[in-house]
Homo-oligomer: A and B are copies of this chain.
Amino acid sequence: MARGFRQKIRQRNTENSGFGSNASGRFINKDGLPNVQRRGVNVFNRLSWYHTMLNLSTFRFLSYLVIAYISINLLFAMIYFLIGVQHLTGIDKSTPSNEFIDVFFFSSQTFTTVGYGRIAPVGFTASLVATFEAFLGLLTFAIATGLFYGRFSRPRAYLRFSDIAIIAPFKDSTALMFRLAPYKNNALTDADVIVSTAIEVIEDGVPKSNFYRLETQLSKINTLALNWTVVHKIDENSPFYGFSEEDFKNTDIEIIVQVRAFDEVFSNTVVQRSSYVTSEIIYGAKFTPMYYPDKENISTILDLDKINEYQKADLPVWAEEEK
């Protein structure tokens, strides 16, 4: 990816991106997380299992719970089996496998504290193990309760970004635009957006990433209920000033976006990030509207499926002397 931009950009780059100029690859992944791998330290210290459990998909999360439940019961079933089925009442002792099945179910009835009592421990060892299994069961479900709550109470912005950014005509000039919309029944207010860009330039023959802040036409809005088209006008203060279609195609560009808003249901600030790289920037296009009045003219409809819809548009030709 060493396609450096040949031309000098006039603007001063910013130094507070948090990324070094010799970091490589995409900086921010499409999902908003930084593209950094950590090494060293112990893997257990390096991973926050709580962050991990919160980021799992619902299906995976539930699968892990079921697997953990079965594993723990198998483990305890083996322990009871080794202790001896004679220390449990009501076991079907017809075959060893029936014995194992019964101790497995005894384990599950203990772990969940359902405790029918058809099978029950007798004597010290089996009772002691059951005592700890029931305790472990309750703590496990205490943790599960916390994880469920943590998962669904976690404040999130629920924003959908357009997959592509476009270079569109804008007030006799051009502008870089992308759009975003809230797709859930949450209520976002006081939203603001910060847009920056990393551009790879060749300095002394070495590719190097420079970071620039991109000014937007409107960086704060009161209510984020409809779509928000973020507009960065490409004028003299833009690092993209003078970029031709070729430049946009041949330079390693990454647009980094951070949206911050206040969610009224969570009463919390939520943040979502995304990024656009060179291949996700369409030159010469404009977005088609994605909201319209409903039939009775009493409400507004936001069609989320249209978020990526755009049409070709001619851009004004750059005055050569401006370059």
A positions within 8 Å CB-CB of B: 1-2, 15-20, 22-28, 32-41, 45-52, 54-55, 65-66, 69, 73, 89, 92, 101, 105, 108-110, 112-118, 120-124, 127-128, 130-131, 134-135, 137-139, 141-146, 148-150, 152-156, 158, 160, 183-187, 189, 191, 194, 196, 218, 220-226, 228, 256, 258, 262, 264-271, 273, 291, 293-294, 297-306
Copies in the complex: 4
Complex contact B146–A144 (CB within 8 A): no
Instruction: List the B residue with the shortest CB-CB distance to A38.
Output: B302
Q: Judging by beta carbons under 8 Å apart, are A122 and B118 in contact? A: yes
Give the distance in Å from the alpha carbon of A37 to the alpha carbon of B298 in the complex: 11
> Looking at chain A's contact residues, is the secondary structure mostly helix, strand, loop, or mixed?
mixed
For the A-B complex with A25-B298, A27-B223, A118-B120 known, give 7 more contacts whose Cβ atoms are closer than 8 Å.
Answer: A18-B225, A18-B226, A34-B187, A37-B301, A105-B127, A150-B153, A156-B267
Query: In the assembly, what is the distance between CA of A124 and CA of B298, in Å?
Result: 52
A17-B221, A122-B118, A138-B141 as given contacts; A38 in contact with B113, CB under 8 Å: no
User: What are some 26 contacts across the A-B interface (CB < 8 A)?
Assistant: A16-B218, A18-B191, A18-B223, A24-B298, A25-B294, A25-B300, A26-B298, A34-B225, A36-B302, A38-B301, A39-B305, A41-B183, A45-B183, A45-B184, A46-B185, A47-B184, A47-B185, A66-B135, A92-B122, A112-B134, A114-B130, A117-B120, A142-B144, A143-B148, A154-B267, A189-B258
